[in-house]
């Protein structure tokens, strides 16, 4: 229990708002939150800060009415109508917190009684606070109740919990190295954003049990807790990517752009004056690494990757599609900082232009909600959208401010194809230097990265069938048998490249000079790769 000298600054912004409504004698307040203990603790603070301290009562259908300070429970007041009558008759200054009362707000008698309570309490020093994990608000009560979505813990609140846990952990002699550097602490707090305090403590406890310390290895524990949250939502999918930038051949300019933003979600970036990155649109030829890039970014930045399947938003129930998009957005923001990945976004929103005819405007409203959020969002949700067919992209989506940048991912050039061959041969436990990469590069002109991978797999089948090691000849033979997409859809790919000339940045250099520049960076030195990117910029 807090002491009476608690300072005003100790109240969160949300708690200050609730306190203001209590002071101005709003009789009914609805708080939406899963964290009963945390919210009740905040209500306790409000009661203490009042000029004349108010009592706090907690009601549940199972235990009745409990005085929070005296720990005195009246087990006879378990009926919802009964507790409402009791509140009206009570003469003391008090805050009444009714838990899970939403289940009774579908009963017309209870709704009527709540309206009676609202009238009776307007001139009293009593306030009823409904605390539930979901909002159920009948139309009859829409003018009687003020609603607050009680946000998940802030970074400051999580920081207090983390520091307390570390101090307690130091008392355990079995634990190794519980001191956290500033950067480690910040990464842990960023990873824990979107969790409740109990979920954060559970993740920290798992780290202590599994590793006997708290540090970088705790982050996967935090992400595992978030994975459970996403799995239960039914709207978003959680990915645990293992891909890295090293597994993507080429695209040096895109890699550099992303690497520059690796620490853009830190407090140091905010203090420096950098805004939170909004997102990235990757347009290009199928199979050239757009989706792989989204996975690699999540792994590189150590952020949760949420795949947003827009098809899941639309359902048969009237009004549910709009609710689903709001739910997905709110969930992504609660997990922030995170990456929201929308694969083939043009297919998800392809029918919005005729929406007023085909679905009474549902698709248009969903699209409008999503666009507005992208433009106005302040939470650290980095959107990576991919698209293959730019003709289906609505102009509104390409407007400045929706994405930080639009990149065009073209078919890989000579150096990039060599790099892709190296990556996929290594992935399949083959030594790249044992193969004639220059011949493979020449014969694979016009092949995408995905097609090169399938060529190697096909060659492996041939070698396995004849019970011999994989050789360059097997891959060359597989290349000869494969017709790349650049031939079957030559006109489409040509049009895509023409569109990108003036509307998007290239993910990699093109042309003879650019391939020469790439050769400089074969050493793998990071600084060399930056020089490669800078030189390529001058050539494109």
CATH of the domain at 457: 1.10.8.60
Of the CA atoms within 13 Å of residue 264, those in its CB half-sphere come to 22
Give the model's pLDDT for residue 433. Answer: 92
Label residue 523 by pLDDT band (50, 70, 90): very low
Question: Nearest Cα to 486, choosing from 471, 501, 497?
Answer: 497
Regarding whether 142 and 49 lie in a shared domain, the answer is yes
The 10s digit of each residue's pLDDT in 82-122 is 999 999 999 888 999 999 999 999 999 999 999 999 999 98
Pairing of strands 94-99, 126-132: parallel
Question: Nearest Cα to 535, choosing from 159, 452, 372, 527?
Answer: 527
Regarding whether 470 and 390 lie in a shared domain, the answer is no
Label residue 525 by pLDDT band (50, 70, 90): very low
- Domain C-terminal end among 112, 134, 149: 149
Residue 127 contacts residue 95 (beta carbons within 8 Å): yes
Residue 403 contacts residue 383 (beta carbons within 8 Å): yes
pLDDT at 198 over 80: yes
Number of domains in the chain: 4
Give the model's pLDDT for residue 510. Answer: 52
- CA 67 and chain centroid, separation: 40
SS3 382: strand
Residue 419 contacts residue 300 (beta carbons within 8 Å): no
The 10s digit of each residue's pLDDT in 352-369 is 555 444 455 677 888 888
Q: In what order do the strands lie in the sheet with 305-308?
A: 236-239, 305-308, 338-342, 381-387, 279-284, 405-409, 505-506
Regarding whether 430 and 451 lie in a shared domain, the answer is yes
Rounded to an integer, the average pLDDT of 66-77 is: 83
Which residues form the domain of 181? 155-232
Where residue 89 sits, what CATH number does that domain have? 3.40.50.300
Give the model's pLDDT for residue 289. Answer: 84
- Domain C-terminal end among 390, 406, 422: 406
The 10s digit of each residue's pLDDT in 243-272 is 888 888 888 899 899 988 888 877 788 888
Regarding whether 461 and 329 lie in a shared domain, the answer is no
Regarding whether 296 and 216 lie in a shared domain, the answer is no
- Domain C-terminal end among 201, 232, 263: 232
The 10s digit of each residue's pLDDT in 130-185 is 999 888 889 999 889 999 988 788 788 888 888 888 887 777 665 555 677 777 88
Regarding whether 176 and 135 lie in a shared domain, the answer is no
């Amino acid at each position: 229990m807090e002491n009476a000298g608690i300072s005003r600054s100790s109240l969160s912004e949300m708690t200050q708002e609730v306190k203001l409504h209590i002071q101005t004698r709003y009789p009914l307040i609805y708080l939406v939150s899963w964290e009963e203990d945390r919210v009740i603790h905040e209500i306790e603070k409000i009661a203490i800060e009042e000029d004349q301290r108010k009592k706090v009562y907690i009601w549940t259908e199972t235990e009745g009415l409990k005085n929070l300070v005296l720990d005195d429970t009246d087990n006879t007041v378990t009926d919802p109508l009964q507790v409402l009558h009791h509140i009206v008759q009570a003469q003391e200054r008090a805050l009444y917190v009714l838990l899970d009362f939403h289940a009774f707000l579908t009963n017309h008698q209870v709704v009527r009684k709540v309206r009676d309570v609202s009238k009776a309490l307007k001139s009293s020093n009593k306030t009823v606070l409904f605390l539930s994990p979901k909002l159920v608000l009948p139309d009859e009560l829409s003018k009687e109740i003020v609603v607050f979505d009680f946000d998940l813990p802030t970074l400051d609140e999580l920081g207090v919990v983390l520091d307390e846990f570390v101090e307690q952990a130091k008392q355990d002699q079995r634990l190794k190295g519980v001191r956290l550097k500033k950067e480690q602490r910040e990464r842990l707090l960023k990873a824990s954003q979107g969790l409740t305090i109990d979920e954060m403590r559970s993740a920290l406890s798992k780290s202590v049990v599994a590793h006997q310390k708290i540090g970088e290895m705790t982050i996967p524990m935090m992400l595992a807790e978030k994975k459970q949250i996403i799995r239960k939502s039914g709207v978003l999918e959680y990915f645990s990517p293992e891909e890295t930038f090293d597994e993507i051949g080429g695209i040096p300019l895109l890699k550099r752009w992303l690497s520059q933003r690796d620490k853009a979600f830190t407090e140091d970036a905010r203090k420096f004056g950098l805004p939170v990155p909004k997102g990235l649109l990757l347009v290009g030829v199928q199979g050239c690494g757009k989706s792989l890039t989204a996975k690699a970014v999540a792994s590189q930045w150590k952020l949760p990757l949420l795949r947003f399947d827009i098809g899941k938003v639309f359902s048969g129930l009237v009004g549910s599609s709009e609710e689903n998009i709001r739910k997905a957005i709110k969930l992504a923001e609660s997990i922030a900082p995170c990456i929201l990945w929308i694969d083939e976004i043009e297919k998800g929103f392809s029918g919005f232009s005729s929406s007023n005819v085909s679905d009474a405007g549902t698709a248009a409203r969903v699209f409008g909600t999503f666009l507005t959020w992208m433009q106005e969002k302040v939470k650290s949700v980095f959107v990576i959208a991919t698209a293959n067919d730019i003709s289906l992209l609505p102009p509104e989506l390409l407007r400045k401010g929706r994405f930080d940048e639009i990149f065009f991912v073209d078919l890989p050039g000579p150096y990039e194809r060599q790099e892709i061959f190296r990556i996929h041969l290594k992935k399949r436990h083959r030594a790249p230097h044992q193969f004639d990469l220059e011949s493979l590069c020449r014969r694979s002109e016009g092949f995408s990265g995905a097609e090169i991978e399938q060529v190697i797999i096909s060659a492996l089948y041939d070698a396995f069938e004849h019970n011999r090691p994989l050789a360059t000849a097997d891959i060359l033979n597989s290349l000869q048998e494969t017709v790349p997409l650049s031939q079957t859809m030559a006109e489409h790919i040509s049009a895509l490249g023409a569109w990108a000339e003036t509307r998007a940045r290239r993910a990699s250099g093109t042309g003879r000079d650019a391939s020469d520049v790439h050769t400089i960076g074969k050493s793998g030195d990071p600084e060399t790769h930056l020089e490669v990117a800078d030189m390529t910029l001058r050539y494109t």
